[in-house]
Amino acid sequence: MKPGRTLKTLDRMVSKAGLGSRTEARRWIGSGRVCVNGKVVQTPDHWVDLQRDKVTLDGRLVKSLDRRYILLYKPKGYITSYRDPQGRATVYSLIPEVDQFVGTVGRLDLDTSGLLLLTNDHDLAEAMTNPEHELPKTYLVKAATLLSDEQLRRLASGVELKDGPTRPAQVMRIRDSAKYTFLELTITEGRNRQVRRMIEAIGSKVLKLVRTRIGPLTLEALQIGQWRELTKEEVASLRKLSRAKRRS
């Protein structure tokens, strides 16, 4: 069966309904708790038609819930996984009032703070994380050394990493102290630990990293550890930006 606009794999459909993460959905399906049109299906990759098929979990109808868009100012020291076998704090402990599952749009590592978007709108999340759409993300960086103009030019033009050269970036020196350079860096990719690796590629290290912007979204009016719902206008702006990137 070829996937169409109304077709989703069973695990994605269950997760999309806001009941749990995709990993949890696959576990529920594998244990026989999910039925499609009255028949137990234990294959997470089974295709279902969102408009025609009746899907139940433990006998209860799985329905899409209202879409939620959560903007969180993530503190340092929290991971973005739903659960952690090592017992580390996760960002989900910061949003206990959100009564349905929302997945993170991209990630921030343990030692990085800043803007993190969480949503159960999988289509928008996929559009925002698609590397072809080149969604800009801005970071404030405290480098472990003083950086020369030449080093900043290298960042701006793209540096070579193990997984290939980076795209050109926007780089602005904020200020220099006696030992450190503070800079603003805007990239249009989302590779693992990319900003840290870029700074290492020019011969320094990151001492502090804060994501301050994702597309049109900023840290304005948010204190560290706090969250808020996106406005309708902000959601519309993200959709418009994603559509524009797809057409370009």
Query: Which of the residues 53, 66, 109, 121 is marked catalytic?
Result: 109
Q: Which alpha helices (H) appear in the chain, and where do they start and end?
A: 10-16, 22-30, 122-129, 149-157, 194-201, 232-247
109 has catalytic annotation: yes
User: Would the pTM of this model clear 0.75, i.e. be above it?
Assistant: yes
Distance from C-alpha of 54 to C-alpha of 40, rounded to nearest angstrom: 12
pLDDT in tens, the chain (248 residues): 444 456 889 998 888 776 778 888 999 999 999 999 999 999 999 999 877 888 999 988 887 667 889 999 999 999 998 888 898 999 999 999 987 888 899 899 999 999 999 998 878 888 888 878 788 999 999 999 999 999 999 999 999 999 999 999 999 999 999 999 999 999 999 899 999 999 999 999 999 999 999 999 999 989 999 999 999 999 999 888 766 655 55
Which domains are seen in the chain, by residue range? 7-61 (3.10.290.10), 72-120+219-230 (3.30.70.580), 136-214 (3.30.70.1560)
Cα-Cα-Cα-Cα torsion 149, 152, 157, 161, nearest 10 degrees, comes to 130
**β-bridge pairing 60-61 and 69-74:** unpaired
Q: Is the dihedral of CA 215, 217, 223, 227 positive or negative?
A: negative
